[in-house]
Amino acid sequence: MFKFIINFVFWYPLIMSLVWIIGSLLFFYRKEKKTLPSVDVYPMVSILIPCYNEEDTITDTIKKLDKLNYPNYEIIAINDGSKDNTESILNELSKQYNKLRVVHIVNNSGKANALYIGLIASNSEFLVSIDADAYLDPDALNYMIPHFIAPNYGERVGAVTGNPRVRNRSSLLARVQLCEYSSIISCIKRAQRMLGKVMTVSGVVVAFRKKALLDCGLWDRDLITEDIGVTWKLQKRFWDVRYESRALCWMLVPETFKGFWKQRLRWAQGGLEVLFRHWKIIFSWKNRRFVPILIEEFISICWAIAWLILIIWNIFQWIVYKNSNFILWQGQFLSLLCLIQFFIAMKLDKNYDKKLLKYYLWAIWYPIFYWYFNALVVIRAIPKAIKSTRNKNFATWESPDRGLGI
């Protein structure tokens, strides 16, 4: 039994790492290096900003959005029942910026509901959702919108997710996440795009076609991670979801262990909730291209559990019998492969962040720390996800850890 677990813990990440590396390189040379089809029109774009207790970040976000290199857009800030000064700040900002409109919701009803209200208030066919602490790159819309409107290119495109970049880098935790967003998140999205289906758009920056959202039933307002849920719904309705690495968005990440734990627990719980809701897709022949993504998600959960079991068993073996079933070279080999993946992915993203590689050595903490951390997160998320499936109320939210400062 434990021989099987050891083999599974070793071979699964090895195979998937090679898939991600090869897939991301293919994406870079076949898609990323090519220019987008030129367009002569600039359709109206509505930028939606769900806000909950964002008094410390929203002013700078609006200032940045007012300076985009795109001629035709509006900004809609949705204040979702904030308890701080967000409401009064937004009201003042709306007087300063002509592009800004503000919608106030009395009670906190969750990010998905805020986006739903923003969609109703919008005046355009194309929506861009960003977080309230995010700085959208001035040229981001010029990379995302052509996916939707280029002739013979984007008729079936329902969503385009951008490239989140970490802007706070003052702590060990932030620097490890900086490496992770390049080597894990961006790398996997590149590879998944080559495979034809993307597991999830990035909630921090994503563009939608309104028609596609209406067709799939909009965001699920009872799910804790609306971005994962709407991605699956769009692709089940055969809308194409794309990754645009040149559409940059500079964001803040948690820099405290508590904030990091809450964020990753929410991600893991949300992924499980979506898996529970849409698992029957495995029996749909029409959606067969989505099956590998579903299976990989399920296996990754099993791997986290197996990893934790193996660690606990080996600690027990060492304490009681002074020996261990875990082979040292296997762990070292996986760590080395992980660092190779980090280097390749960070090399690809260096085009967008010139100083990125100087943080590469911080990536060594990822296999040492995150594999154990992720296993604990998954174990904790399983009962929370099972419990949440019985709850059909709005999935409310709270403002996350914004870091220790830049």
Average pLDDT, the chain: 82
Kindly report the CATH number assigned to the domain that includes residue 85: 3.90.550.10
pLDDT tens-digit map of 277-323: 877 777 777 777 777 777 877 888 888 888 777 777 777 666 666 66
Query: Which has the minimum average pLDDT: 6-15, 105-114, 167-176, 317-326?
Result: 317-326
Cα 114 to Cα 45, 187, 402, distances in angstroms: 17, 30, 20
Beta bridge partners, 160, equal 207, 242
Inside any domain, residue 291: yes
**Tokens of residue 131, six digits:** 């977080």
Of 106, 134, 162, the residue at which a domain comes to its end is 134
> From CA 122, how far away is CA 367, in angstroms rounded?
44
Answer yes or no: is 110 within a domain: yes
Has residue 145 been placed in a domain?
no
CA distance 250 to 262: 21
Segment 22-35 shows an average pLDDT of: 80
Question: What is the predicted pLDDT for the residue at 279?
Answer: 73
Q: Is 140 within the bounds of a domain?
A: no
Residue 246 sits in the same domain as residue 372:
yes
pLDDT at 112 (0 to 100): 86
124 and 180 part of one domain = no
Q: Is the dihedral of CA 101, 86, 145, 354 positive or negative?
A: positive
By DSSP bridging, strand 100-105 and strand 73-80 are parallel
Asked whether residue 27 falls in the same domain as residue 65, the answer is no
Note whether 160 and 262 are same-domain residues. yes
Q: What is the pLDDT of residues 78-133, one digit of tens each?
A: 998 888 888 889 999 988 888 999 999 888 888 888 899 999 999 899 999 998 88
Q: Is residue 395 part of a domain?
A: no
Kindly state the tokens that stand for 387: 């419990």
Q: What is the pLDDT of residue 395?
A: 63
Task: Kindly give the interhelix angle for 2-27 and 291-321, rounded to the nearest 10 degrees.
Answer: 140
Q: Does residue 225 sit in the same domain as residue 88? A: no
- Strand-pairing partners, residue 163, are 248
0.85 exceeded by pTM: yes
Higher pLDDT, 214 or 267: 214
In sequence order, the β-bridge partners of residue 102 are: 77
Contact 31, 38 (CB under 8 A): no
- Do the domain assignments include residue 400? no
Q: Are residues 28 and 106 in the same domain?
A: no
* Domain span at 288: 1-34+153-390
> How many other CB atoms sit within 10 Å of the CB of residue 328?
8
Residues 47 and 26 in one domain: no
In a domain, 405, yes or no: no
Helix (H) or strand (E) holding 73: strand 73-80
Q: How far apart are the first and last CA of the chain?
A: 49
Tell me how far CA of residue 141 lies from CA of 15, 73, 308, 339, in angstroms: 35, 10, 42, 33
Q: How far is CA 302 from CA 5, 8, 57, 157, in A?
A: 10, 10, 38, 32
Same-domain status, 124 and 183: no
Are 123 and 217 contained in the same domain?
Answer: no
Over the Cα atoms of the chain, what is R_g? 21
The domain total for the chain is 2
- CA distance linking residue 354 with residue 256, whole number of Å: 26
159 located within any domain: yes
320 and 209 within one domain: yes
Q: Give 3-state DSSP helix, strand, coil % of the chain, rounded to 5.
A: 55, 15, 30
Question: Quick check: 400 pLDDT over 70?
Answer: no
Note whether 28 and 49 are same-domain residues: no
Q: Which of 33-37, 57-61, 290-294, 323-327 has the highest mean pLDDT?
A: 57-61
The Cα 89–Cα 120 span in angstroms is: 23
Q: Are residues 319 and 375 in the same domain?
A: yes
